[in-house]
Structure 1
């Protein structure tokens, strides 16, 4: 009896001491805390968010910002993600303190399968490899002089767009403009990526595959919660993820190998004179500075998929919003038509690219459309390289921060 009393007494004293020290330590609050967050579940955080993609929870996040303020913390599993909704805070972080916020968060296990362990631009950690990928894309493909070399590709895609719209119109069916825009942009990006004009069937298969990749970001989030557990309990979903990656490689690796063969033939003076540099051509020449090796085929598949995925929906969505505003505001449409006729005349049906430089109002319409209806409502996730303060709140080292 005395032994049990001693045990209970010791436990009681321990609990009282713990409560006393907790009270004492809580009186000394840290100077900065994390931004406010909605109610969370203990240990697992906001489990409901794990089952949704970032795009699906955007409306909820904006609703939270109206009640919690310009910065919100969301616990996705055990790790906090911070969301910033204020323009001045975004400018302060990305422009004034760009070096602190320049890194990318570490990819979760399921994501690493699709991005080849962060060997791409959108998820790669800030460093020599990331700078190499970004410089290669901007200087070799997106540079104005290089963009001009794709004029024949844009003409081909313009014909595809017109033919698709006219075919739907003549059949009496409703014309889904967004579908036609998406297919046209996909055709252009596939040509710029692999250097070949693929068949309509091949392009549609690539489009379906990229759509599966895009929607998979949300579907496979749950696998990242407890990978060791989900590999047992959610084995079928892991198998789906691996199959998606295999399908992507099966579709792209033959195109990469064909382009490598064409490039080798050109170097041996057996190729055609109308050879135009493709994105895959530049990837074949890259050497990773940190690892002292060239990209393997799986990493080239990841970069090619990123190139096609990022450009297709954003461009087609921007075009759709511009067209919608032209329909909504007929006076803008009339003024734009007057400018076009003033440059090319009444009888010309097709506008040449060099004529576009003479149409400032057309440029203004496009830019205003992008300002009012940005295709993406947030930038890729960032993380800070050391503990810092933004808007009076603590941003811990290596935490994920998103700018909306």
Structure 2
């Protein structure tokens, strides 16, 4: 019996050895065949030699933005890796980024869609402005966002709404100050940002600072979706295993997404019922994005369909809240950790505002160069999305003499670009002053600083994020002093990062800070 067991075990090991050898042979043969077919002038960019089957997967670690930055020091700012069965191209310098997203922007304009997105209902990957390839559908949805939500005209018209929501944030912080309660900066900023978005869209608050409901709060649904969506997934590295859902992410994400869609559908249905009750020519009591889209559908104006609306709203809330709240948390942490910097920012604000109680005015932003420099420096050191949302090539493209094959996954390591000592002296230091004498901005034209992307796939919500970041940060540091909970010295604060959903950069330990009212 024992001998039989050993025989079976030997046979299994032999079969495994044969399979690994076969895969290795096919892998090496296919690579050589590709290079012979393409010619030496069309080879892939340099990169680490892949292990058969798994490629360079184990080189990524739990902080791939750090790992790939280190590899780029060896192989250069245009690098290729085999991660599982996927060819991945990593770009990590200003010059390469400019060539890729200026000269070849259309060729790099598609998306690599994570398999966990399959948790979405209504075939979301084919109707999402985040994941759609560039085409008529994408252009229509992008136009809706740019013209109806994030245009300068629309943002100027809604400035009182943002002022009101930032005042509510300050009221909550004041309550925490009175009760000597620490403020979770990330959650507080996310609540304010979500409510700005929900009032644009529904004319109603959708998140609460201190929720007493027994149901899972909306903000927590969003955060859990982002957390699970950022979990490494074998199905993305080995598409052959997709139908097995090997990490169980689709199973976990599906009920969360159903809750999210149910919330959106409830708001949309309420709007439809309201429209049905009033006469066709009677104006709506609100004038938000949902009203506008439903009017377009009713009047058969080319726009998005009723089925598209929950998907568009999901895109807005998932993409719009996390980046802003993470950036504000990093900015507050850096300022608390660098007392001389926060004093400079406070002095600038006091000179302009005096002891004015309440949020800063949006018209003040252009008159606050040091506050703007603080935001830029935060985005350089802690970009909200470390690799941007992954691009995918729609055709073979030659860059710097190397061939980027069709359907390659393309990662732009924005974090590594912010650490480039050839561009940024003392790159690990928090020095807002570096931006005071240079005309560098994050609007997508200065390729050394592209935290919101560049080209066709640049984040459409940048204009809103720009205003909200300055409003919240300026108001919080103008009205309050800040101390670390538990009496910790600022220089002892944990400033390590962690890798989150769709390559977001999150603070490893949440910033819990005690506010002290100034006036």
Q: How far has the Cα of 1:93 moved from its partner? A: 0.8
Residues 12-51 of structure 1 mapped to structure 2, 5 A cutoff: 30-46=40-56
Match status 1:395 vs 2:404: yes
Structure 2 portions without partners, runs of 5+: 1-28, 414-519
Match status 1:363 vs 2:369: no
* CA distance, structure 1, for counterparts of residue 38 and residue 99 of structure 2: 29
Equivalent residue, structure 2, for 1:165: 173
Equivalent residue, structure 1, for 2:270: 258
1:62 match: secondary structure: helix
Equivalent residue, structure 2, for 1:147: 155
Aligned residues between the structures: 372
* CA distance, structure 1, for counterparts of residue 327 and residue 114 of structure 2: 31
* CA distance, structure 2, for counterparts of residue 382 and residue 373 of structure 1: 21
* CA distance, structure 2, for counterparts of residue 217 and residue 256 of structure 1: 26
Deviations 1:200-230 (A, max 9, x none): 3489722111112212223472344566755
Structure whose CA Rg is larger: 1
* CA distance, structure 2, for counterparts of residue 262 and residue 176 of structure 1: 37
Match status 1:195 vs 2:195: no
* CA distance, structure 1, for counterparts of residue 55 and residue 325 of structure 2: 36
CA contact (8 A) 1:35 1:73 kept: yes
Residues 209-288 of structure 1 mapped to structure 2, 5 A cutoff: 209-219=221-231, 221-224=233-236, 229=241, 231-232=243-244, 234=246, 237-262=249-274, 268=280, 273=285, 275-278=286-289, 280-284=290-294
2:217 match: secondary structure: helix
Whichever structure has more helix as a proportion of its residues is 1
Q: How far has the Cα of 1:146 moved from its partner? A: 0.6
Equivalent residue, structure 1, for 2:90: 83
Q: How far has the Cα of 1:123 moved from its partner? A: 1.4
Match status 1:295 vs 2:305: yes
Deviations 1:38-81 (A, max 9, x none): 3534245456589x9xx843222222222222123232332211
* CA distance, structure 1, for counterparts of residue 103 and residue 151 of structure 2: 26
Equivalent residue, structure 2, for 1:94: 101
Alignment partner of 1:351 out of 341, 360, 368: 360
Q: How far has the Cα of 1:286 moved from its partner? A: 6.6
Equivalent residue, structure 1, for 2:117: 111
4+ aligned runs moved over 6 Å, structure 1 = 25-28
Q: How far has the Cα of 1:83 moved from its partner? A: 1.0
1:31 match: secondary structure: helix
Alignment partner of 1:130 out of 129, 132, 138: 138
Equivalent residue, structure 2, for 1:14: none
* CA distance, structure 2, for counterparts of residue 154 and residue 28 of structure 1: 55
200-209 vs 299-308, which deviates more?
200-209
* CA distance, structure 1, for counterparts of residue 114 and residue 76 of structure 2: 28
Structure 2 CA distance for partners of 1:303 and 1:48, relative to 1, 3 Å? farther
Q: How far has the Cα of 1:231 moved from its partner? A: 3.7
63-72 vs 354-363, which deviates more?
354-363
Q: How far has the Cα of 1:314 moved from its partner? A: 1.2
TM-score norm. by structure 1 comes to 0.78
CA contact (8 A) 1:168 1:175 kept: yes
Structure 2 CA distance for partners of 1:253 and 1:227, relative to 1, 3 Å? farther
Match status 1:315 vs 2:324: yes
* CA distance, structure 1, for counterparts of residue 239 and residue 411 of structure 2: 24
Computed over aligned residues only, the root mean square deviation of the Cα atoms, in angstroms, reads 3.6
CA contact (8 A) 2:114 2:236 kept: yes
1:38 match: secondary structure: coil
Equivalent residue, structure 1, for 2:387: 378
